[in-house]
Amino acid sequence: MAKWGEGDPRWIVEERPDATNVNNWHWTEKNACQWSKDKLHSLFSDLEINDSIMSVQIKELKKCEGEATANNRKAKLIFFYEWELELEWEGRCAGSDQVVKGRVEIPNLSDENDIHEVSVNVTLVDPDRGAIPEKIKGMMRSKGTEVIRSKLDEYVSSLKMDFSQGLILPTKDGKASGVTPSGANSTATKGKTELNKGSTYKPKESGEQCSGIKISTKELIMKEDFKCRAEELYRAFTVPEMVQAFTKGAAQVIPNVGGHFQMLDTNVSGKFLKLVPPNELEFEWRFKSWPAEHYSFVKITIEETSDSSQLKLVQKGVPEDEVERTQAGWQRYYFDAIKRTFSFGATLSSGGF
């Protein structure tokens, strides 16, 4: 089965006028250590974490030890990073003048761990000072951990965006090669897929693109079961943080009618046309290598059953020679990735969410 990326120029060995790193085949590396230290300091400097009665401010990133590099090999970007961090914080509780001091240790921020696997260890400098310090520590272990992990995720996303520049070099026609998302699991789960070979979806009334070339298209229909509530599955497609989590990179998502989205290293983009939470989504969708200005139409419906939610995807206007690659892309980079990231392939607990 074809994969996203096959047929793209970056997969074909081409000659370059300067004979340098032909088709991005050779290993190149950029040191991201100092950039990472500056970025982490800026993310945590004076960061505030509050709830209705307690407030905490990160006073200092006291320890920041490790390394980070961005690498290109065979037109694939690979990011290595490993950091050990220590934060110092001060907290207060409404109605009290007591200042509580503590630390946060993050020993395993690494490309080998997903963000939710990164340890965030909260401790008090003086643990024997009564009930208020324990309350603030509890808040930091719950809400504080969520905020800190979101900042770590922002660092990883920024690393992948900022240091992809210049690593994928132009090919002989002067265009930059695309970026292949790294770290995706190639194991496919078996969903139901149908192809309507008679479909001829036309995104414009004329049936022509800006180039004036008519495109032969087909309809793609896929079904997939997820062990989660319909609302959770709907949020996976519309909440920016969840999209960034399962695509493992920066993503822009504006979940309203007319709002645009872009993800998977800008390879996928589109615009929302209809949102009916938690059961229906309609949007324009295209892959970067498709003919200019050609968008397909996608309708996703989600039906919740007693122990799972079934997603049905109908996509019209897929270029005929891109159907297999598009199908494989949905399966690998969306469905499998969502199940893996959010454990939506596991059995639902009786208590629900």
Q: Is the pLDDT of residue 344 over 80?
A: yes
SS (HEC) of the chain: CCCCCCCCHHHCCCCCCCCCCHHHCCCEEEECHHHHHHHHHHHHCCCEEECCCEEEEEEEEEEEEEEEEEEEECCEEEEEEEEEEEEEEEEEECCCCCCEEEEEEEEEEECCCCHHHCCCEEEECCCCCCHHHHHHHHHHHHHHHHHHHHHHHHHHHHHHHHCCCCCCCECCCCCECCCECCCCCCCCCCCEEEEECCCCCCCCCCCECCCCCECCEEEEEEEEEECCCHHHHHHHHHCHHHHHHHHCCCCEECCCCCCEEEECCCCEEEEEEEEECCCEEEEEEEECCCCCCCCEEEEEEEEECCCCEEEEEEEEEEEHHHHHHHHHHHHHHHHHHHHHHHCCCCCCCCCCC
CATH number (3.40.50.2300, 3.30.530.20, 3.40.30.10, 3.40.50.300) of 192-342 reads 3.30.530.20
pLDDT-based confidence at 74, cuts 50/70/90? low
Q: What percent of the chain has pLDDT over 90?
A: 54
Length of the chain, in residues: 353
Q: Is the pLDDT of residue 211 over 80?
A: no
Residue-range domain boundaries for the chain: 28-162, 192-342
| pLDDT score, position 76 | 63
For the full predicted model, state whether its pTM sits above 0.75.
Answer: no
Q: What span, in angstroms and rounded, lies between the C-alpha atoms of 251 and 266?
A: 8
pLDDT in tens, 77-112: 678 899 999 999 999 999 889 999 999 999 999 988
Q: Is the pLDDT of residue 334 over 70?
A: yes
Task: Kindly report which listed range (74-88, 116-130, 145-159, 190-204) carries the lowest average pLDDT score.
Answer: 190-204
pLDDT in tens, 234-265: 999 999 989 998 998 889 999 999 999 999 99
pLDDT-based confidence at 193, cuts 50/70/90? very low
| pLDDT score, position 284 | 96
Domain 28-162 of CATH type 3.30.160.270: no
